[in-house]
Chains A and B, each alone.
Chain A
């Protein structure tokens, strides 16, 4: 399914300075039983967010009204583990449109790009600056500019470029997805399949 277009996102951000945030934390396996893509945001970080009796854990950042926004800033090696796209769905469904980290796990990054969540990889130094800025002032706004491929702390003007391949960038800007593209070259794919040795 095609998704929302992404151009320039300006928002406050939610800080989660923990390394190796894995997919079982993003969405525990017991919440993977849905057969439609609905309601995953409720279970984002379920076991860090709620006690076993379903009362919110007050010290977890998603339960702290101080921090809000459409950008999630995580620690190094964000999204490691499973290939479950449900992890990216839960991030999206909760309301995030961008995840920032100094290092992403491969499959999670790809899944985000496939559903319209922009993964922005920054240097470890810039990651530290972002965390420091948010903790100093939770109202700090961050601009994620996809056309320019820049992420900027609006309070100080500090900015860094980020990488995204031009194909995926075009998809994100226009809300296209890979299936649209692959469908358009189906004839070529069939020809390729026919010449395979077995």
Chain B
């Protein structure tokens, strides 16, 4: 029988099927952070139960950590309390804890893959919707609520109805300056933020096959922004080369067995999907969002569409443009930019900093721009230094901050002030996402770089001849 990649991994993890209800799904790897776990641990305590498999859960602090002076005590007492709770709960239940200051600390969806916690064919959950990132390895990975965090801690299972399946094919040669972020924002702009709700997505086609693991992670990360629970890409040589030899990756004989399993992880010829979509990669240009959800994106050279050209209510559309201070029919090119944020689980990996640096090299940060460059982990931070990128950034007037989620959701002090505009490589442009009243334009690291050196929204293709 022909099966999809998704079916193979899901079905291998079903402990029990409930008639007229969800499947009991076994979870291989569980990632936790300081914000969505404390109430789950309280629940465990009130039930008088414990963590069933502590070695399957990994804790890292990232959501509310500061991105400067990490060696000093956290000033905000509420954040400090959450960080302390994560440490105390991890210690009490025997869970690995990579807290602030730990060499392995970083954004949960960046460090998971870096240390080989993320593996092909695994089921991975975390109380964070961007857990979909790990699907880049051919894992089933998705975000869960705190009640489910408690379920996984207590029983290593959650209860989920099996989602429908969608395949999104993108083939063709990507144009100059078009990055994985642009491919993802393009797809979301076509599907809207609810277009894949109820589905699990498989990305297929040569555009994804040619991507690095970093690029694939960016794409899978954004699956949730079109409503999908997650997205995945079949593992191939690129995946195996990335996974091999990492700390938590199987070794020796176990690796040989794992490798044999990884090679079965692909959609069979003739397997069917509930929905299948195809796009031409060559038609995608650098993208930017103009509204208050990630589906409100367009090619950077386009004009903001009129209300009658977009799906959804005109009132909601006008509210959104009103919040952003934009109007129908306007071009985004030349709009002033106050902040540039490069980082997050979407675009906080080494490739993103390479792209950013390739464009700003030999130029200088615009005076009107505050730039926050936040690596996703200490490994990324070290690579930036080792590759000489830090020197280039410094020469151009940029500083590098310390790892964390930072301005993506502005739980720490990295907040964009009311009314100010940010070009951000993160994942959400919701009202107030980057601070109360902040106005976010989502884009790639190249578009962010172009904005950072010109001070306005700029098509990166106009700035350099040879882009990475």
Using a CB–CB cutoff of 8 Å, the interface residues on chain A facing chain B are: 1, 17-20, 22, 24-25, 28-30, 32-37, 47, 52, 75-77, 80-86, 88, 103-107, 110-111, 114-115, 165-168, 177-179, 181-183, 185-186, 188-190, 192-193, 196-198
Interface flag for B150 (CB, 8 Å): yes
Point out the residues of chain A lying under 8 angstroms from B39, CB to CB: 35-37, 85
Measured CB to CB, the closest approach of chain A to B25, in angstroms, equals 10
Q: Find out whether the CB atom of A197 lies under 8 angstroms from the CB atom of B261.
A: yes
Point out the residues of chain B lying under 8 angstroms from A103, CB to CB: 194, 197
Q: Find out whether the CB atom of A188 lies under 8 angstroms from the CB atom of B15.
A: yes
Select the residue from B16, B145, B146, B155 with max chain A CB neighbours within 10 A.
Answer: B145
A33-B82, A167-B22 known; A20 vs B254 contact (CB < 8 Å)? no
Q: Find out whether the CB atom of A182 lies under 8 angstroms from the CB atom of B144.
A: no
Interface flag for B21 (CB, 8 Å): yes
CB within 8 A of A107: which of B53, B63, B229, B257? Answer: B229
Q: Find out whether the CB atom of B150 lies under 8 angstroms from the CB atom of A179.
A: yes
Once bound together, how far apart are the Cα atoms of A103 and B313, in whole Å? Answer: 14
Interface flag for B278 (CB, 8 Å): no
Q: Find out whether the CB atom of A35 lies under 8 angstroms from the CB atom of B229.
A: no
Q: Find out whether the CB atom of A83 lies under 8 angstroms from the CB atom of B129.
A: yes
Interface flag for B20 (CB, 8 Å): yes
Q: Find out whether the CB atom of B15 lies under 8 angstroms from the CB atom of A47.
A: no
Residues of B within 8 A of A (CB-CB), count: 79
A167-B21, A183-B155, A186-B155 known; A105 vs B227 contact (CB < 8 Å)? yes
Once bound together, how far apart are the Cα atoms of A77 and B268, in whole Å? Answer: 33
17 contacts between A and B (CB under 8 A): A22-B293, A29-B410, A34-B78, A35-B39, A35-B85, A81-B428, A88-B145, A106-B229, A107-B143, A111-B145, A114-B147, A167-B20, A168-B21, A182-B155, A186-B155, A189-B52, A197-B258
Once bound together, how far apart are the Cα atoms of A189 and B197, in whole Å? Answer: 29
Measured CB to CB, the closest approach of chain A to B161, in angstroms, equals 7
**Residues 178-210 of B at the A interface (beta carbon under 8 Å):** 193-194, 197-198
A77-B193, A185-B16, A197-B261 known; A36 vs B154 contact (CB < 8 Å)? no
Measured CB to CB, the closest approach of chain B to A39, in angstroms, equals 12
Interface flag for B135 (CB, 8 Å): no
**Residues 316-367 of B at the A interface (beta carbon under 8 Å):** 316, 319
- Which residue of chain A has its CB nearest to the CB of B150? A179
Q: Find out whether the CB atom of A52 lies under 8 angstroms from the CB atom of B319.
A: no
Q: Find out whether the CB atom of B430 lies under 8 angstroms from the CB atom of A25.
A: yes
Q: Find out whether the CB atom of A110 lies under 8 angstroms from the CB atom of B145.
A: yes
Ranked 9 nearest A-B pairs via Cβ: A167-B21, A83-B143, A85-B145, A166-B20, A33-B78, A35-B38, A111-B145, A114-B147, A182-B155
- Which residue of chain A has its CB nearest to the CB of B316? A19
Interface flag for B1 (CB, 8 Å): no
A28-B436, A47-B436 known; A107 vs B24 contact (CB < 8 Å)? no
Interface flag for B46 (CB, 8 Å): yes
Point out the residues of chain A lying under 8 angstroms from B163, CB to CB: 106
Select the residue from B63, B82, B146 with max chain A CB neighbours within 10 A.
Answer: B146
Q: Find out whether the CB atom of A178 lies under 8 angstroms from the CB atom of B156.
A: no
Point out the residues of chain A lying under 8 angstroms from B411, CB to CB: 29-30, 32-33
CB within 8 A of A193: which of B49, B81, B156? Answer: B156
Q: Find out whether the CB atom of B147 lies under 8 angstroms from the CB atom of A85.
A: yes
Q: Given known contacts A29-B63, A35-B81, what 14 new A-B pairs fall within 8 Å (CB)?
A: A24-B430, A24-B432, A28-B436, A29-B433, A81-B430, A83-B145, A85-B145, A105-B197, A107-B224, A167-B21, A179-B151, A189-B15, A190-B52, A193-B156
Q: Find out whether the CB atom of A75 lies under 8 angstroms from the CB atom of B410.
A: no
A107-B145, A198-B254 known; A28 vs B316 contact (CB < 8 Å)? no
Interface flag for B381 (CB, 8 Å): no
Measured CB to CB, the closest approach of chain A to B204, in angstroms, equals 22
Measured CB to CB, the closest approach of chain A to B185, in angstroms, equals 16
Interface flag for B369 (CB, 8 Å): no
Once bound together, how far apart are the Cα atoms of A76 and B194, in whole Å? Answer: 9
Point out the residues of chain B lying under 8 angstroms from A167, CB to CB: 18, 20-22, 159
Once bound together, how far apart are the Cα atoms of A192 and B157, in whole Å? Answer: 11
- Which residue of chain A has its CB nearest to the CB of B128? A83
Point out the residues of chain A lying under 8 angstroms from B145, CB to CB: 83-85, 88, 107, 110-111, 114
- Which residue of chain A has its CB nearest to the CB of B39? A37
Once bound together, how far apart are the Cα atoms of A48 and B316, in whole Å? Answer: 14
B284-325 CB mask vs A (1 if < 8 Å, else 0) is: 000000000100000000000000000011011001000000
Point out the residues of chain B lying under 8 angstroms from A80, CB to CB: 193-194, 227, 293
Q: Find out whether the CB atom of A185 lies under 8 angstroms from the CB atom of B293.
A: no
Q: Find out whether the CB atom of B316 lies under 8 angstroms from the CB atom of A18.
A: yes
Once bound together, how far apart are the Cα atoms of A88 and B147, in whole Å? Answer: 11
CB within 8 A of B147: which of A35, A77, A177? Answer: A177
Interface flag for B236 (CB, 8 Å): no
Point out the residues of chain A lying under 8 angstroms from B63, CB to CB: 29, 32
B28-39 CB mask vs A (1 if < 8 Å, else 0) is: 100000011011
Point out the residues of chain A lying under 8 angstroms from B293, CB to CB: 20, 22, 80
